[in-house]
């Protein structure tokens, strides 16, 4: 770069690559959840909880040739320095020792000269690393759940508002039997309800690694407590409780099974597929001019084409959702190559895949809420598109009406087939509008039902039980799922960049 030192200093923040997930998109709360400050404070909390548990069950340590218990002063010193982290010292120690956990053990010990000897006592690196990851994943899901509930709530409102609005159903992206705009919203809602259930299940299924030692056998702790199995069980239970976890794994290697990561990221990736489906639908509907995402007053759709109203929110969601869906492959590969009790080739991969899965999910929820709060529906355009296709769809109803007038079904079918082909030619070849109904009205053969044609072409008669299905679905499934999140449903999502 041809810049002076002064210019380089001016742009210091922008000289190095920054992840767009944290620099551009993600919420502060999710960024902080996976930030270094929370990570290393949690490490220190785990060391504190372990020392407290060892003190509680009566551990004796050798200090200057004398056996004694852990003191209140030592515990207090650990508490007082939970947030007193010398990051520069930690970096220096890691460069020297090539071991991040031991670097922070020495950094914590330097801040706690009385308690240095009891930090990490009997533990392995995975004690702080794995248990912290489990806490961060649990806390991350707790951040996501109310946000997903808000998205469901906003979509529910749109579904109710447009439960009776007929619209062309599309199968194979071709015109099909009518549905309603509200019913279509319920297709998206149903996927998100499944995601809500998956998030809740994954969170509730997370177990703590706990206090297990180097290969998960708790041998080091059994040695510390002179073979007292009950005391080893007790410290495991105490630390698990202090961490706010309901239970800990009984069986693990050096690490908790990476199947937990697979399970967790799979739920997030599955949510990504729900987002991609919904946003793809919105993008297609925007092309048809039936529905649009919000478009700000000063927003520019194209630098060249001033008229453009690009669905950039939905496009961004699809882009991010693709990456989210791919991350589950990382967790599966990582789990599959955990040789015996563990392999360290999981570490660098997990530093990327786990935070990114949560950050992307968080970003998607912020955007989806914004989209759902500002969806714009164009009923007149929808009805215009219906009018282009409904005459063809109404042919079966017309045949049945003629049969009721004692006309021959096969003869009627042939008459309407010929008229339909003529009307299709006008639409496809001549570029005209669908004039099938005018042709039927001009045909003496169909005179017996001429006065019924308007009612036979009423779009409301083609939507089946769609409105009733919307009401039943919301009352039976959506509202009960949202009940526990009633206090979390307020607040709008602001889309800034």
Q: Which residues does the annotation mark as catalytic?
A: 172, 302
Please report the sign of the dihedral spanned by the C-alpha atoms of residue 85, residue 88, residue 89, residue 94.
positive
User: Which of 271, 301, 290, 262 has the alpha carbon at shortest distance from 367?
Assistant: 271
Picking from 97, 69, 83, the residue whose alpha carbon sits closest to that of residue 39 is 83
The set of residues, in sequence order, having a beta carbon less than 8 Å from that of 116 and lying 6+ positions away, is 108, 109, 110
If you count them, how many residues does the chain have? Answer: 497
- CA 360, CA 161: separation in Å to the nearest integer? 30
Give percent helix, percent strand, percent coil of the chain, each to the nearest 5.
Answer: 70, 5, 25
CA distances from 453 to 224, 352, 390, 402, 448 (A): 90, 62, 12, 11, 10
Q: Cβ(199)–Cβ(267) under 8 Å?
A: yes
Do the Cβ atoms of 477 and 193 come closer than 8 Å? Answer: yes
Q: d(Cα 105, Cα 387) in Å, to the nearest integer? A: 73
Contact 391, 437 (CB under 8 A): yes
Instruction: List, in order, residues 6 or more apart from 5 with CB less than 8 Å away.
Output: none
Cα–chain center distance at 195: 8
In angstroms, the Cα distances linking 390 to 168, 180, 393, 442, 456 are: 9, 14, 5, 18, 10
Sign of the Cα pseudo-torsion (335, 339, 343, 349, in order): negative
Locate tokens 């049945």: which residue? 400
Eight-class DSSP state of 81: T
Residue 26 tokens, joined: 């993600």
| Structural tokens at position 217 | 């056998």
How far is the C-alpha of 232 from the C-alpha of 237, rounded, in Å? 9
How many whole angstroms separate alpha carbon 275 and alpha carbon 278? 5
């Amino acid at each position: 770069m041809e810049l002076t030192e002064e210019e380089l200093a001016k742009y210091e923040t922008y000289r190095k690559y920054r992840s767009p997930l944290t620099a551009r998109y993600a919420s502060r709360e999710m960024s902080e959840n996976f930030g270094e400050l929370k990570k290393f404070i949690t490490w220190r909390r785990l060391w504190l909880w372990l020392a407290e548990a060892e003190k509680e069950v009566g551990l004796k340590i050798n200090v200057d040739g004398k056996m004694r218990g852990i003191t209140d002063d030592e515990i207090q010193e650990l508490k007082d320095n939970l947030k007193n982290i010398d990051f520069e010292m930690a970096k220096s120690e890691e460069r020297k020792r090539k071991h991040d956990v031991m670097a922070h053990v020495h950094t914590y010990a330097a801040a706690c000269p009385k308690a240095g000897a009891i930090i990490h006592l009997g533990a392995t690196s995975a004690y702080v690393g794995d248990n912290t990851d489990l806490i961060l994943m649990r806390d991350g899901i707790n951040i996501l759940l109310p946000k997903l509930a808000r998205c469901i709530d906003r979509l529910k409102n749109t579904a109710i508002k447009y439960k009776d609005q007929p619209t062309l159903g599309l199968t194979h992206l071709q015109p099909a039997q009518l549905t309603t705009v509200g019913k279509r919203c319920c297709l998206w809602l149903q996927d998100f309800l499944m995601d809500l259930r998956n998030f809740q299940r994954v969170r509730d299924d997370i177990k703590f690694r706990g206090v297990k030692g180097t290969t998960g056998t708790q041998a080091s702790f059994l040695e510390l407590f002179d073979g007292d199995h009950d005391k080893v069980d007790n410290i495991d239970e105490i630390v698990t409780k202090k961490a706010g976890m309901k239970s800990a794994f009984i069986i693990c290697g050096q690490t908790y099974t990476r199947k937990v990561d697979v399970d967790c990221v799979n739920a997030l990736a599955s949510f990504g597929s729900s987002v991609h489906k919904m946003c793809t639908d919105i993008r297609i509907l925007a092309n048809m001019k039936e529905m649009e995402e919000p478009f700000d007053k000063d927003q520019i759709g194209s630098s060249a084409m001033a008229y453009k109203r690009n669905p950039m929110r939905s496009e961004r969601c699809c882009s991010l959702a693709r990456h989210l869906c791919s991350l589950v492959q990382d967790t599966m590969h990582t789990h599959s190559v955990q040789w015996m009790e563990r392999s360290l080739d999981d570490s660098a991969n997990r530093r990327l895949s786990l935070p990114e899965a949560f950050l992307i999910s968080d970003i998607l929820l912020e955007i989806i809420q914004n989209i759902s709060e500002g969806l714009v529906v164009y009923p007149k355009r929808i009805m215009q598109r219906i009018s282009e296709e409904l005459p063809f769809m109404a042919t079966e109803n017309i045949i049945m009406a003629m049969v009721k007038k004692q006309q021959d079904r096969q003869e009627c079918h042939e008459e309407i087939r010929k008229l339909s082909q003529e009307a299709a030619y006008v639409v496809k070849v001549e570029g005209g509008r669908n004039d099938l109904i005018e042709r039927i009205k001009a045909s003496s053969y169909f005179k017996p039902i001429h006065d019924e044609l308007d009612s036979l072409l009423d779009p409301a008669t083609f939507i089946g039980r769609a409105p009733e299905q919307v009401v039943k679905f919301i009352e039976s499934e959506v509202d009960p799922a949202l009940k526990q999140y009633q206090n979390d449903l307020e607040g709008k999502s602001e889309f800034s960049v």
